[in-house]
Amino acid sequence: MSNYHIKNFPEYYHVYRNSVREPETFWEEIAEEHFVWKKKWDKVLEWDFSKPEIKWFEGAQLNITENCIDRHLATRGDKTAILFEPNNPSEPAQHITYNQLSERVNQFANVLKENGIKKGDRVCIYVPMIPELAIATLACARIGAIHSVVFAGFSATALSTRINDSDCKMVITSDGSYRGSKTIDLKGIVDEALESCNSVETVLVAKRINSDINMKEGRDQWLQPLLDEASTVCEAEVMEAEDPLFILYTSGSTGSPKGMVHTTAGYMIYTAYTFKNAFQYRENDVYWCTADIGWITGHSYIVYGPLANGATSVMFEGVPSYPDFGRFWEIVEKHKVNQFYTAPTAIRALAKHGTALVDKYDLSSLKVLGSVGEPINEEAWHWYNDTIGKKKSPIIDTWWQTETGGMMITPIPFVTPTKPTYATLPFIGIQPCLMDENGNELQGNQVEGRLCIKYPWPSMARTIWGNHQRYKETYFSAYKNCYFTGDGALRDEVGYYRITGRVDDVIIVSGHNLGTAPIEDAINEHPAVAESAIVGFPHDIKGSALYGYITLKDLGESRDHTNLSKEINQLIADKIGPIAKLDKIQFTEGLPKTRSGKIMRRLLRKIASNELDNLGDVSTLLNPEVVESIKENRL
C-alpha cells in the first residue's frame, strides 16, 4: 500500500494532507494493513487535551512482540534481527536471527513468569548494551509486564528513585559492563540502590564481564541457568491497545524525573511507520542507531520500530572513541551499514579528530544519515554531510522527545530537500504550531515561537506514572488545547522548522536532558554549600555544558575551592550520574535575585555564555551589587 512507504515529495504532500484532514481514516488504514491484531478496535481515536485523555484504537487487542517477532518467522526466520557488535573489536559480532530472537524472548518471558512477574507488574531493566537488554524488554512485552529501562550510566541514587517511583518488583542487570577500556560494577550499583527499595523481590543477573560479585541469597539469581531450563514457547499475553507497554523516565525542569507512560498499539504503529519512512528502510538493509536502549531513541529505533519492520538492527556495546575514534566507521564498513543514526555531540567529537580515521574505511554502503537529540550546528551538519555522507546520503535531522515516542519533525530522505540545521517538515499526521507568549498561534511563515502540537498522534505518552496532574500541568496547561513541547522553534519562508532549543530549565548536554533542579538539589546537600544555580553555556562538543554558581556557608570560606569543586562534582556523579557533572564552578558571594526572591537565571545564563553587553536593567534586583562581582569573576 503506497501510504505506508512514501517515495517522493508529491506523495508526501498528498499523504500528509490526508493524514491531517482525516487522521482517523488515515491511521486506521495503516493499522489495518500493516500489523497483526488479536481483535480489531471499536474506535480509532478518542481525545480531550483538557483532561488530558488520549486513546488510540480502543477495543483492539494485540501483542507487540507478535508484530515485532512472530509474524516475521515464516519469511524472515533466518534473517538477522539484532546484530550485536561488542565493545572489544576482537570479540566476534553476534548475528541473532528472528528465529533465535523468538526463542530467546520466549525463554526470557518464561523466566519472568516463573519468578512471579505478571501482566501489569513493573520490571526495571538496568543492563548495558548487550543482547539481553533488547531481549528483556521484549520478554516483558511478551507477558504484558511494564518495562522501565534505566540507562546503565545512572548512579545508584538515580536508579533507586526510578525503581521506587514505579514500585518495580524485579530488577534485571548484569555483573558489570564494558565501556571502552573500563569496566563498570553494575551489580554493585544495583546492590547500593536496593538498600533503599522495598518493592524489589528478585534480581536477575546476566553475566557479561565475569567479575566476582555479591549475590544476595533469596533475591539474586544468575540469569543464564534459568534461561537454559526455560521453554522456548511462551504464549503472547493479550494486551489492550491502551495497556502500558513501558515507562521511561525523563528529566523535568523541576522536581523528580517524570515516568512517561507509553501504551501499546499507537506506539507500535507510529514507531514502525516513522522507521520505515524516515530511514527509507528496504529489505536486507543493515540499520544502525548508536543510541543506548536506555533512552527513547533506543526503545523506538533500535528495538520496536526496526523489529516491527523485520529489519536488521545493529546494537553496539561500546563507545565511539575505543579503541580509537575510527570505531564507528570501522563498524559501518564491517557490517555494510546502510542507515546510520547518531547524535550531534558524537558527530562533533569525531569531527574534531579530522578525516584520517574516516578515510581509512569504506563507507560506500551508507544511504541515509540521521541526527537526533539536540540541534545540529551548521559546522557539524556539513562535516557529517561531506565527510561521512560524501554529499550523497541525505541527513535527516529528526526532532522528537521521550514524550512523543517517535519522530515528529524530520525530512524524509530522497523525498524532502534538506537544509542544514533544519528539521524541515512535520512527519505524516503531525500538526505542529508556533505560539507567541500570549498564547496566540503564529500564522504564516517567517515566525518564531514556542513549539506545540495541535492534534494527537498515536505514540504520544499518555500520562506520567502516578501523577496525571503533573502530566496535565507540564504539557497541556501552557496553551489551550495544545501539547506544549518545551522547545522554541522558527518556521522559515517555505514552512521549514528549525528547533532553537529548550525554553525551560532543561539543559541538553551531549544529547542528554538534564533538569537544573535535581542537580542543584544534589549540590545543596554538600555541607559547605548555601545555595546554587545551574545554567547552560555553549560548548564545542557537548552542545551545551553546565555552569554552576555556588554560594558557600561560612564554614566553607576557608576551604580550598579546587577540592570543593571536586567534591561537588563527585556528589553530582553519585546522586545523578557522571553526565550531570559541571564543567565550570564559580563560587560567588550571592546569586542575583528578583524582589520576590527568585534567582535570575536569564542573567546568569548570559554571563556564563559571555554575553556581557546586554544584561538588561539589573537595578530592580534585590541585590544588584552581586552582578558586577559575578561578571568580574566569571570563568
By C-beta, is 536 or 548 nearer to ligand PRX?
536
> With binding defined as CB under 6 A, does residue 397 bind ligand PRX?
yes
- CA neighbor of 401 nearest in space, from 543, 497, 284, 299: 299
By C-beta, is 369 or 372 nearer to ligand PRX?
372
Does residue 550 sit in helix, strand or coil?
strand
By C-beta, is 123 or 343 nearer to ligand PRX?
343
Please state, in angstroms and rounded to a whole number, the distance separating the CA atoms of residues 252 and 272. 27
Stretch touching ligand PRX by CB under 6 A, among 233-241, 268-276, 330-338, 480-488: 480-488
> With binding defined as CB under 6 A, does residue 373 bind ligand PRX?
yes
By C-beta, is 72 or 262 nearer to ligand PRX?
262
Of residues 31, 129, 200, 296, which one binds ligand PRX by CB under 6 A?
Answer: 296
Which x/- pattern, by CB under 6 A, does the window 331-370 give for ligand PRX?
A: ----------------------------------------
Please state, in angstroms and rounded to a whole number, the distance separating the CA atoms of residues 234 and 298. 25
> With binding defined as CB under 6 A, does residue 508 bind ligand PRX?
yes
The answer to whether residues 142 and 264 touch, using CB atoms and an 8 Å cutoff, is no
Please state, in angstroms and rounded to a whole number, the distance separating the CA atoms of residues 330 and 360. 8
φ/ψ bin of 166: left (φ > 0), alpha (ψ from -120 to 50), beta (otherwise): alpha
Of residues 244, 298, 426, 486, which one binds ligand PRX by CB under 6 A?
Answer: 486
Give the position of cell 496566540.
Answer: 440
Residue 599 contacts by C-beta under 8 Å, 6 or more apart in sequence? 533, 591, 592, 593
> Any bridge partners for residue 315, and if so which?
84
> With binding defined as CB under 6 A, does residue 402 bind ligand PRX?
yes
The answer to whether residues 388 and 413 touch, using CB atoms and an 8 Å cutoff, is no
DSSP tag of 117? -
Q: What is the closest distance, in whole angstroms, from the C-beta atom of residue 373 to ligand PRX in the complex?
A: 5
Residues in the chain: 635
Rg over CA atoms, the chain:
24
Which x/- pattern, by CB under 6 A, does the window 410-439 give for ligand PRX?
A: -------------x----------------
Of residues 327, 502, 601, 605, which one binds ligand PRX by CB under 6 A?
Answer: 502
> With binding defined as CB under 6 A, does residue 257 bind ligand PRX?
no
Q: What is the closest distance, in whole angstroms, from the C-beta atom of residue 620 to ligand PRX in the complex?
A: 31
Q: What is the closest distance, in whole angstroms, from the C-beta atom of residue 85 to ligand PRX in the complex?
A: 22
> With binding defined as CB under 6 A, does residue 80 bind ligand PRX?
no
Stretch touching ligand PRX by CB under 6 A, among 136-144, 359-367, 392-400, 572-580: 392-400
> With binding defined as CB under 6 A, does residue 374 bind ligand PRX?
yes
By C-beta, is 205 or 349 nearer to ligand PRX?
349
The answer to whether residues 147 and 141 touch, using CB atoms and an 8 Å cutoff, is yes
> With binding defined as CB under 6 A, does residue 398 bind ligand PRX?
yes
Of residues 69, 499, 552, 604, which one binds ligand PRX by CB under 6 A?
Answer: 499
Of residues 277, 290, 338, 513, which one binds ligand PRX by CB under 6 A?
Answer: 513
Please state, in angstroms and rounded to a whole number, the distance separating the CA atoms of residues 15 and 5. 10
By C-beta, is 286 or 508 nearer to ligand PRX?
508
C-alpha distance from residue 595 to each of 447, 505, 583, 588 (Å):
33, 20, 30, 19
By C-beta, is 171 or 499 nearer to ligand PRX?
499
By C-beta, is 143 or 461 nearer to ligand PRX?
461
> With binding defined as CB under 6 A, does residue 153 bind ligand PRX?
no
Residue 425 contacts by C-beta under 8 Å, 6 or more apart in sequence? 12, 16, 409, 410, 411, 416, 495, 496, 497
- Sign of the Cα torsion 9, 12, 15, 20 reads negative
The answer to whether residues 84 and 127 touch, using CB atoms and an 8 Å cutoff, is no
Does residue 307 sit in helix, strand or coil?
helix
- CA neighbor of 338 nearest in space, from 273, 299, 405, 394: 394
Q: What is the closest distance, in whole angstroms, from the C-beta atom of residue 279 to ligand PRX in the complex?
A: 15
In 376-496, the DSSP E strands lie at 395-398, 432-435, 447-453, 463-464, 483-491
Total of chain residues touching ligand PRX, rule CB under 6 A: 22
Of residues 66, 220, 243, 487, which one binds ligand PRX by CB under 6 A?
Answer: 487
> Any bridge partners for residue 515, and if so which?
506
Stretch touching ligand PRX by CB under 6 A, among 131-139, 232-240, 395-403, 573-581: 395-403
> With binding defined as CB under 6 A, does residue 400 bind ligand PRX?
yes
> With binding defined as CB under 6 A, does residue 297 bind ligand PRX?
yes
> With binding defined as CB under 6 A, does residue 464 bind ligand PRX?
no
Of residues 41, 399, 476, 587, which one binds ligand PRX by CB under 6 A?
Answer: 399
The answer to whether residues 136 and 127 touch, using CB atoms and an 8 Å cutoff, is yes
By C-beta, is 24 or 540 nearer to ligand PRX?
540
What residue type is 104 in one-letter code?
R
Please state, in angstroms and rounded to a whole number, the distance separating the CA atoms of residues 190 and 605. 36
> With binding defined as CB under 6 A, does residue 372 bind ligand PRX?
yes
DSSP tag of 1? -
> With binding defined as CB under 6 A, does residue 401 bind ligand PRX?
yes
Q: Kindly report the backbone phi and psi dihedral angles of residue 110, in degrees, each rounded to the nearest multiple of 5, phi listed first.
A: -65, -35
Q: What is the closest distance, in whole angstroms, from the C-beta atom of residue 128 to ligand PRX in the complex?
A: 19
* Chain residues in the site for ligand PRX (CB under 6 A): 250, 296-297, 371-375, 397-402, 423, 485-487, 499, 502, 508, 513
